[in-house]
A and B are shown apart, each in its own frame.
Chain A
Amino acid sequence: MCSVSIVSMSKKIGVINYGSGNYKSVCNALDYLSIDRIEITKAEDFCKAGNVILPGVGTYGDCMERLGRMGLLDAIRHEVLSNKRNFLGICVGMQILTDFGTEYGMHNGLGIIKGSTNIIKESKDISIPHIGWSNVHITKKSHLFDGIDDNADFYFVHSYCVDVNNASLVSSVTSHGGDIVSSIEFENAYGVQFHPEKSQKNGLKLLTNFSHL
């Protein structure tokens, strides 16, 4: 954990490495964009970083458990809530921002955004998991989507989605049966359900936008 004065000094994007499948993919995308990055594996590493990305592939509980074992849960809460560090959670990395998740049992989340993570509601003609390229409808102006068209397609791969108590935190939705939350924004905390690191041009643009925050 760091003091705020140090936070503002680094331009490097911190990428939290807790063994999630897409850590490398996120790094590859940043490298490709020539965005400096630094690996975060312990609380002290935040001091060397500016904005931070939490990649995510896997289950809610597994993700929380791994971060817990590394002693990163309180550090993330502190950096986001007290130090106001810009933070981007991807897929499960976004989901654990909520209070709890119900994937394979009940698991506590980071509790940064009021809400929960639950299985996508079944409905006719949709498959769960939601896998593939879907349109993202922007519902609130967000710098993450600067230069990205409304209804641009992004790559999704998930069975669970976020329900937030305060609907004004939702910045985009995607239709899959009903509308599912495809991104959230709460002050300096951002989350995307889709995978920008796998969404070709639109995804690279979004990561560039995040690096400019």
Chain B
Amino acid sequence: MPKIRLIPVILLKNGRVVQSKRFKRHQILGTPSVIVSRLSNWFADELVFLDISRDGNYCLNRDDLNFNNNNSIVDIIEEVSNNSFMPLTVGGGVRTVADVETRLAAGADKVVINTQAIQEPDFINKCAKIFGSQCIVVSIDAKVKDDSWEVYKNYGRDPTGVSPVDFARKMQDYGAGEILINSIDNDGVGNGYDTKLVSSVVKSVSIPVIALGGAGKPEHFSTCINESRPNAVAAANIFQYTENSYFNINSFLYNNSFNVRQPNLETIFEAGDS
């Protein structure tokens, strides 16, 4: 039985790391290489990079000194994978088999597919056959509708009329290896996960489920694990602007007897010297 993973999500928009609120407001946090070099020193269980650029326009008109000017998510993955030996998952704009191939070749271990999975479910099947189910993650952006939820596509803009439970099941049947369930309503709000949404998806599939959207303090992670039983809990904002947040949340869960990895403050550089 693997440990419950604690996963920082890094959102990129037009070459910048951003913070997101309800899929609408995106505040720039900085240049990827600066943030990424900090992340590389973390003993995180896994990192997820989601490129939410909508126009493919990577214009970095301000460069921090002494850091590479990364132009695309592929460059960013290459840079991260050179220095950090942890699983990397990459999503955003994955529409073709070649898109998957490029990301894996750059050092990604898994790819996240969203809109294309809704538009062409067979694409998931095709990718699973070539690359194996284990590296195909389908992300589902869901929004409350009446007393249930509805799946949205195109970065949370377009409703699909499909329920997340039905869609998750379908994706499992098509060969997806993992589901990333994200609550549009709770995104960036910091009031906790939509545990009912996460539970509904966890109960409907046998593949691993990653919960995302809403974590604002350590207790939100433990509540989600207890109430929804996901295989992983992910968050973006909380890991970006709180000092040592990964270590602290990891320690909180570990000290409360959750099945997570032992927290580790060592840097990867020390690990390499041993």
A interface vs B, CB < 8 Å? 19, 21-25, 28-29, 31-33, 57-59, 62, 92, 103-104, 122, 125-134, 147, 153, 155-159, 175-176, 195, 197-201, 203-205
Contacts of B209 in A (CB 8 A): 127
Contacts of B130 in A (CB 8 A): 58-59, 62
B71 is an interface residue with CB less than 8 A from chain A: no
Chain B min CB distance to A59 (Å): 5
Contacts of A197 in B (CB 8 A): 85
Chain A min CB distance to B113 (Å): 15
Query: How far apart sit A206 and B242, CA to CA, in the bound complex (Å)?
Result: 33
Query: How far apart sit A31 and B110, CA to CA, in the bound complex (Å)?
Result: 22
Query: How far apart sit A176 and B2, CA to CA, in the bound complex (Å)?
Result: 7
Knowing A127-B207, A129-B207, A159-B134 are in contact, say whether A24-B106 is a contact too (CB < 8 A): yes
Asked whether, in the complex, the Cβ of B271 is within 8 Å of the Cβ of A21, the reply is no
Asked whether, in the complex, the Cβ of B261 is within 8 Å of the Cβ of A157, the reply is no
Chain B min CB distance to A107 (Å): 13
What's the interface size class on B, roughly? 35 or more
Contacts of B110 in A (CB 8 A): 157
Contacts of B104 in A (CB 8 A): 21, 57
Chain B min CB distance to A152 (Å): 10
CB contacts under 8 Å to A, within B106-146, are 106-110, 129-135
Knowing A24-B106, A159-B132 are in contact, say whether A175-B177 is a contact too (CB < 8 A): no
CB contacts under 8 Å to A, within B19-60, are 43, 45-46
Q: Which residue of B lies closest to A202 (CB)?
A: B271
Contacts of A127 in B (CB 8 A): 206-209, 231
Asked whether, in the complex, the Cβ of A157 is within 8 Å of the Cβ of B135, the reply is yes
Looking at the complex, which one of A33, A92, A103 makes contact with B272 (CB distance below 8 Å)?
A33
Contacts of A158 in B (CB 8 A): 132, 134
Asked whether, in the complex, the Cβ of B109 is within 8 Å of the Cβ of A57, the reply is yes
Q: Mark B193-218, 1 if CB is under 8 A from A, else 0.
A: 00000000000001111000000000
Asked whether, in the complex, the Cβ of B133 is within 8 Å of the Cβ of A133, the reply is no
Asked whether, in the complex, the Cβ of B83 is within 8 Å of the Cβ of A32, the reply is yes
Contacts of B5 in A (CB 8 A): 132-133
B87 is an interface residue with CB less than 8 A from chain A: yes
